[in-house]
Structure 1
Amino acid sequence: MNPEVEQMLTALYGAMAEEPDQPGRWQARHADQVLRSHFQPIYSFPHRRPVGYEALIRVSDAQGQALSPLHAFERVGSFEEQVHLDRLCRLLHVHNFVEQRIPDCWLFLNVHPAVFVHAARHAEMLTQAVEVVQQLGLPMNRLVFEVTEDVMAQDEKFEHAVEAARRTGCLLALDDFGAGHSNFDRIWRIKPEIVKLDRGLLQQASHSHRMARVMTHMVSLLHECGALVLLEGIETREEAQLALDADIDLVQGYAFGRPQADLRAAGEISPLIEDVWELFDATHLQGRQRYEERVAPYRTAMALALLPLQQGRELRVACEAFLRLQGAQLCYLLDEQGRELGLRELPDGVVQATEERFAPLERAGDARWARRPYFRRALASIGEVQVTRPYLSLHGARLCITVSVAFWQDGRLRVLCGDADWGQAE
C-alpha cells in the first residue's frame, strides 16, 4: 500500500471508535467534537418504501451538547483538514450504514465539490477508498455521491472528476437543482443518475397552479435527460400530493421520517404514501370529471360546426354556438399543411385585446401550425373532436385550450380550431 494512503487510513481509523454502550454503532472525534451518523429515509412513490438513506452528520461538544453540523466545518483551518473531515464523515457513515444490514438500499453521501475533485486527481487513494468500502460490505453501486449543483459549476475539472467517480461504479446526485443559476446544459453534460430539486420549487408550486405545472414540465425534461428526480423537504401531505402529481420519483422530508441513528426497515410501507395514493385516485377522478364537464360545451359546439362548413357555410355562421360560449376567444380554419385559411372569427362585440409587446404574434400572416398538438391529433382522428391541455397561446400570449376537429371539404382536408380561455381556472 502507498505510504501516503496508509497514513491517511491510519489517521481516519484512529479518530473512530465504537460507542461504549452501543456495540456496532460508531462515532468519531475531530478536535474537541464528537461526530455521529443520522440517516433520513428516501422513499420511492411507486414502491412506497425506503430505497435509500441520506447520511447526515450530527455534532456535539465534549459535554454532549448538540452543535450545528456547520460548526464543525466552519472551524476547519486548511484544505487538508477539510479533506480529512470530509473523509472521516463518509467513513463513519459507511460503517454505521453497513452495520445495520439493510439490503438493496442506496446510501447518499454529501461530498464537498472541492474534495470530490481532489479525490479524482489522486487515483491511488480513490482506488484504496473503493477497496475499503467494498471490504466493509457495501458495493459501490449502492453509493450515491451528492454534489451541490451551483458550486460544482465553478470548477472546470469537475467533469473529469465525475468520469473518475463513475469508473468506480457509484451513482451521482446533483443537489439543489432549481435554485440559483441552475442550468439544464450541466445535466446534459454530466448526466447525473439522480437530480434533487430545491425545496424552493415546492414552496412556489404550493401557492401557484402555474408553478405546479412548471415543476411538472421540469420533471418531465429531467426524465428525458435520463435522470431520476428526488424532491426533498416535504413536510405535509399536501406537499407530498404535489410531488406525486408532478411525477416525482423519490421523496424525502419530515413527512416521511426525520433523521435518526437507526435505519427504517427497507420493506416498511409508508402510511403517508398509501394515503397520498388514495387521495390521488379520488382527486384524479374528480379532476377528470370537472375537466370533462368544463370542456363538454366546447366539444359539442365544435361538432355542431362541422355540417355547416361541409355545406359551404361561412366560418362565422358555422361557429356561432362556439363563439357564444363563455370564455370563447376565437375560431379559425387551417388547411392540410397547418396554414390559416381566411380571417379568424371572434365573439360578437369582442375586440381581440393584444398587448403591444405581443403584437408581432397577432399578425399571423403565413404562419403554419402543423407542429401544434391540436393540429396533429385532429389529423390522426378525422371527424373526432380533440381538446388540448392548457398551454400558452401565441394568439395574445394567454393560457388557453384549443378544441379542434379535422374534416373533408370539397376533397380537401381542413382542421377547424377554437380557442377558449383557461386562465379563469388559475
Structure 2
Amino acid sequence: MHNAALPLPTFDAGAASAAPHAPLAVPMQFTRYRGLSLGSHFQPIFSIAHGRAVGYEGLVRAQHDDGRPESPAALLAMPRNGRECLELDRACRTLHMQNFARQASGQAWLFLNLNSQYLVSERPDIGFTRDLLQASGVPAHRLVIEIIESEVRDQAQLKRFIRHFRQLGCLIAIDDFGAGHSNFDRIWDLQPDIVKIDRRLIRDAGNSPRVERILNGIVSLLHEAGSLVVVEGVESEPEALLAIAANAANADMVQGFFFARPQPRLGDPPGAAERFASLLRGRQWHGLGRSADLQHYARGIEELFRQALAELAEHQQFAPSCRGLLNDPRTVRCYLLDEAGYQVSPNVYPLHYQQRLNLRFAPLLCGDSANWSHKHYHYRAMRQPGIVQVSRPYLSVADSRLCITLSQTVTVDGLRHVFCCDLDWQDR
C-alpha cells in the first residue's frame, strides 16, 4: 500500500448487495488489505425539508475470502502505527471516491471520514485529496471532509489542513459533536460548514426532557455559529420526531437506521418522501398536543387567577388577593410588576412551596426592585391588556426550576400593573 490512489480491481456489487434494489448498472470496486476484501457502503443523509437524500457517508465493509464479514472495528485495529493507519485511511477514501463516482448521484455530497489524529501526527503530503479528486472526477464542492475535532491536540496543524481542504473547494464537517471533549470553542475556531450531533444526545433526549432542551439549545447555537446540523444515529420514530422538532430549533439533516441502512447503491429507499411527510405531520400534531397540554394545565387554575385579579382591583391589596391561588398545589409564587417591568411587591409563596425553597439560590429569591420587562409574560401582558397570558415553560431565575407564568394587566392605585403567578412545571 502506498500514498497514491490505489488501482482497484472490480466485482459486481449487484450480486453482492443485500439491498432491496435492482442490481447496479456498473460493477463496484474493491481493494485487498491483509487478506480481506474491502468494499464501500453508503448511508444516506436526508434533508428534512426536502424529504430526500442530499448526501451519502462512505463506510468501509470488509469480508474474508469465504464470505465471512469482518467488523469495521476489527479492521481499523489492524494497523500497527500511525503511518499504517494513515495508509488504511487513504485506501478507504480512495475506494469510496471511486465507487461514488461510478454511480448516478445528482448533486449529492459524499461525506468522507478523515482520521484527523493521524493526519496531524504523520504530517503527510497535503496533495493526496487534490489528486484523488482529479482521478475520480468528483467536483471538490461535492466532497465533505468529516473530522472528529476532539481527537486532535495540535489545533494549528489541524487548521492548516482544513484551510487546504477549503482552498480545494471542499466542505468541512465536525463529526460526533457532543461526545468526549467536544466544545464550542473549537466550533468558533474551525468554523465548520456542517456539524454532526453525536448519537448519544438524540438517544438521551428521548428519555429526558432536560436533555431534549439541551439538544435544542445546541442546535440553535450551531446555527448561530453558521453551521448546518445533522442529527446522526436516529434509530426509532420517537428519535426521528425529536430530530425534526417543528416547535424547537430545527436540525437540517438526519442520518440513521430508521431512515436507511448503508448499502452499496446510492439512492433514496422506497417511500422516503412519504415517511418524512408523515413525520412532519406527526411532529406538528405533537407540538399542538404540547400546546394543548400547556393550556389545559393553566386553564385549571385560570378561574382562581381571575378571582385574584378582581379582588386586587377592588380592594387594592396584593397579598390578600392571592389567597385562593396560594391554596392550589400548582402555584409557586405570585408577584406584581409595574408598567416598566419592575417588581413592586415581594414574592408571595404558598405554604406548601415555602417548605421546598432551595436556600442555595437565596441571592435570587428576593425579587424586590428586580426588572422583568424583558420577560415574555410582562411584555405580552402589556401589549394585550385585559387578556390572560400563558407563557412557555422556562427556567425561573428565582429558584432554578421550570415554571410557566400566568400574567394580566390590572389597575392598582390608578396605574397599570401586571399581576403574575408562576406555576410549577418541572419536566411534566
Range class of TM-score, shorter chain: 0.7 to 0.9
How far does residue 378 in structure 1 lie from its aligned partner after superposition? 3.1
Match of 1:196 in 2: 196
Match of 1:285 in 2: 288
**Counterpart check, 1:77 vs 2:70:** no
Match of 1:167 in 2: 167
Residues 145 and 172 of structure 2 are in contact (CA less than 8 Å); yes or no, is this contact kept in structure 1?
yes
Secondary structure in structure 1 of the residue aligned to 2:38: strand
Give 5+ residue unaligned stretches, structure 2: 15-25
Match of 2:341 in 1: 338
State how 1:141-156 maps to structure 2 within 5 Å. 141-153=141-153, 155-156=155-156
How far does residue 119 in structure 1 lie from its aligned partner after superposition? 9.3
Match of 2:40 in 1: 37
Rounded to whole Å, the distance in 2 between the matches of 1:265 and 1:204 is 28
How far does residue 419 in structure 1 lie from its aligned partner after superposition? 0.6
Q: 1:384 to 1:146 in 2, by over 3 A?
A: same
Secondary structure in structure 2 of the residue aligned to 1:207: coil
Query: Please, which moves more after superposition, 196-205 or 49-58?
Result: 196-205
Q: Name segments (4+ residues, structure 1) moved above 6 Å.
A: 118-121
How far does residue 170 in structure 1 lie from its aligned partner after superposition? 1.4
How far does residue 357 in structure 1 lie from its aligned partner after superposition? 1.8
Summarize deviations over 1:144-181 as a string: whole Å, max 9, x none: 11111321355442222222211222112111111122
What amino acid sits opposite 1:144 in the alignment?
V
Match of 1:238 in 2: 238
Rounded to whole Å, the distance in 1 between the matches of 2:67 and 2:86 is 25
How far does residue 365 in structure 1 lie from its aligned partner after superposition? 4.5
**% identical equivalent positions:** 35
1:316 to 305, 319, 322: 319
Secondary structure in structure 1 of the residue aligned to 2:218: helix
Residues 44 and 250 of structure 1 are in contact (CA less than 8 Å); yes or no, is this contact kept in structure 2?
yes
State how 1:70-149 maps to structure 2 within 5 Å. 70-117=73-120, 122-133=125-136, 136=137, 138-149=138-149
Summarize deviations over 1:193-248 as a string: whole Å, max 9, x none: 22111121122212222222222222222222222221222222122122222533
Match of 1:157 in 2: 157
Match of 1:354 in 2: 357
What amino acid sits opposite 2:237 in the alignment?
R
Secondary structure in structure 2 of the residue aligned to 1:37: strand
Query: Please, which moves more after superposition, 221-230 or 300-309?
Result: 300-309
- The TM-score, its normalising length taken from structure 2, stands at 0.86
Match of 1:295 in 2: 298
Residues 196 and 229 of structure 2 are in contact (CA less than 8 Å); yes or no, is this contact kept in structure 1?
yes
Residues 41 and 59 of structure 2 are in contact (CA less than 8 Å); yes or no, is this contact kept in structure 1?
yes
Secondary structure in structure 1 of the residue aligned to 2:403: strand
Secondary structure in structure 1 of the residue aligned to 2:372: coil
Summarize deviations over 1:105-156 as a string: whole Å, max 9, x none: 11111110135447987454454344334xx2x2222111111132135544
Match of 1:13 in 2: 6
Match of 2:181 in 1: 181
How far does residue 42 in structure 1 lie from its aligned partner after superposition? 1.4
Rounded to whole Å, the distance in 2 between the matches of 1:20 and 1:394 is 63
Query: Please, which moves more after superposition, 328-337 or 85-94?
Result: 328-337
Summarize deviations over 1:71-97 as a string: whole Å, max 9, x none: 333222343332222122111111111
How far does residue 58 in structure 1 lie from its aligned partner after superposition? 0.6
2:262 to 256, 259, 262: 259
RMSD in angstroms over aligned alpha carbons?
2.8
